[in-house]
Structure 1
Amino acid sequence: MQIISCKGHELEKEKSNTPEDFFNSSEITFQEDGMEKTLHVLYVRYFDEVFQEFTPYHQDPIFGVGENSVNFKDIVALVCLLKNPGLRQRKRIYINSKQEFAAYFKEINFNKLPEIFRALRQKKSYELPSPLEFIVQSS
């Protein structure tokens, strides 16, 4: 699988009576079997305020790659796909449970995530041989 981009953003209200401002969206675009696909993850914005509870990061942006900053919302779809490769067949998922959201981040090797963003910045893509390389294997 070839990762092409990872990015996130805050949703904004289109109309005054809609709840978009309570949600964030994270997306990962990748190429597999010659087809380009995008997974959109819609999640409750509150999770951005408590990510320290289930990641080693303490502030946003969570790390830098060159002069670019990587925010927490930029890694959410990536982490979901790494943790559950079956999501490659989905176009979008919605997460509103903090417990479900935190479960995606368990056993993720956070030290390897900058490697993906470095490659995206330098080579415009990242070849992912196996998602298992990003999961901490318990002994």
Structure 2
Amino acid sequence: MLIKECQGYELVKEKSNTSEDFFNRSEITFTEDGVEKTLHVLYVRYFDEAFQELTPYGQDPLFNEGGKEVAFKDIVALVCLLKNPGLRHRKRLYISSKQEFAAYFQGIDFEKLPEIFRSLAQKNGYELRSPLDFIVQPV
């Protein structure tokens, strides 16, 4: 699987009677078997406030890589796909439970995430051989 892009953003209210401004969207675009796909993860914006509980990072943006600031919302879809590779067959994922959201971040090897963003900046892609490479293995 070739990861082509990871990005996140806050939704903006388009109409006064919608609740879009309470949500963030994180997207990961990848190519698998010659087909380009994008997984859109929609989640409650409030969960961004818990990033210090879910990750080892002390601030947001989390890190700089390839001249780009990488924010928490930029890694959410990536983490979901790494934790549950079956999501590559879906277009959308909606997470409304903080417990479900937190479960995706458990066991992720956060020290390896910058290499994905470095490769995206330098080579316009990252070849993901196995999602297990980003899961902390028991000793």
TMscore range, shorter length: over 0.9
Q: Deviations over 1:22-66 (max 9, x none)?
A: 000000000001100000000000011111111111211000013
AA matched with 2:74: D
Aligned-residue offset at 1:67: 2.3
AA matched with 1:55: T
Residue in 1 that maps onto 2:93: 93
The answer for unaligned runs of 5 or more in structure 2 is none
Q: Secondary structure at the match of 1:51?
A: helix
% identical aligned pairs: 75
Provide the alpha-carbon RMSD of the alignment.
0.6
The answer for unaligned runs of 5 or more in structure 1 is none
**Which structure 1 residue ranges, 4+ long, deviate > 6 Å from structure 2?**
none
Q: Secondary structure at the match of 2:3?
A: strand
- TM normalised by structure 2 equals 0.98
User: Do residues 111 (structure 1) and 111 (structure 2) align?
Assistant: yes
AA matched with 1:13: K
Q: Distance in 2 between matches of 1:40 and 1:58?
A: 26
Q: How many residues align?
A: 139
Q: Deviations over 1:53-102 (max 9, x none)?
A: 11111211000013210000000000000000000000000001000000
Residue in 1 that maps onto 2:7: 7
- TM normalised by structure 1 equals 0.98
User: Do residues 62 (structure 1) and 62 (structure 2) align?
Assistant: yes
Q: Distance in 2 between matches of 1:109 and 1:88?
A: 20
